[in-house]
Amino acid sequence: MDWFKHLTCSHEDPDISDAWDEFGDAAIVVFWTTLEIYGREFSHTVDGKLIISVKYFERKLRRKWRKIEKILDFFNERSRIIYELSDNKLTITIPKFIEVASNWTKRKQKQPTEAPTEVTQEAPTAKDIEEDIEEERYIHTRIFDHWNNCHIVVHNKLTTKDRTAISAALKDRHEQEIINAISNYAKILKSPDYFFSYKWTLIDFLKRGLRKFANEADPFNNFKTDRNKAAPISEGNDDPKPMRTIEDLERSGLI
């Protein structure tokens, strides 16, 4: 799509005005840049849905996801920009977008194709690099603090090895997905309804357990105690959870 309508009174739109009051100029940047991305890739949409990577979206907006998410949530609640996040992919729908599309777009639309996830970008400035490093360290701290708050194996400080393991995990998963997996792991460890009782360190969890305790792996069904009645609790053991070695779980394919 070459263009879409932008009325001179758009800044007086109630939703845009409210977002501007709450989030400042960032709300305007996120709203209109999202519309521009959606319009540019309109021929790639399927049933009005555009799928792009989070990293692509961050680069286009020149902002990190945590700064974008709150603004998108605002417009999502107002039904102006509908989005879903899954596996570092954004699915974006903009209701009634065709009403502001160019006349040419209304007359002729290309067949849907896959939307690009990479674009040529200008070389990052020293400030951009510094902000990226600061943001990554901030994410490391949030994940590390969440791990310790779950009281699985509490670590005294965030080490270089911890940061390396977290960075590796972030290459494949969004921060919130990692936090959710840690929460799932902690709940399963502490509940008698699940048989998994092996405690990893944070590094070991990220390397060996993250995939198994992510939401899409359905860990609360996979680790239910009643799935493994063949492993009874030994006499005199007051622990209500069947104890299994990590080797047993690996052989059974559960980790």
DSSP structure string for 214-230: SGGG-HHHHTBGGGGTT
Q: Which residues of 173-203 are buried (b: 16+ CB within 10 A; e: fewer)?
A: bbbebbbbbbbbbbebbeeeebbbeeebebb
Q: Is 224 within 8 Å of 254 (Cβ atoms)?
A: no
Mean pLDDT per 10-residue run, the chain (255 residues)?
A: 56 85 90 87 79 88 88 93 89 77 46 48 59 80 94 94 93 89 95 91 95 93 70 39 52 56
pLDDT at 157: 94
What CATH number labels 10-107?
1.10.10.10
Record the pTM: 0.48
Q: How many residues does the chain have?
A: 255
pLDDT at 95: 84
**Per-domain residue ranges of the chain:** 10-107, 126-251
> Following CA atoms 168, 172, 175, 180 in sequence, which dihedral angle do they give, to the nearest 10 degrees?
-110
pLDDT at 171: 86
- Kindly report the CA angle at 39 between 35 and 42, in degrees rounded to 5? 135
pLDDT at 11: 67
Reduced to 3 states, what is the DSSP secondary structure of residue 90? strand
Angle of helix 25-40 versus helix 65-77 axis, rounded to 10: 80
Cα-to-chain-centroid distance, residue 140: 15
DSSP assignment of 136-197, as one string?
HHHHHHHHHHHHHHTTSS--SS--HHHHHHHHHHHTTS-HHHHHHHHHHHHHHHH-TTB---
Reference 175, options 143, 151, 145, 141; nearest CA is 143
Question: What DSSP element (H or E) covers 85?
Answer: strand 82-86
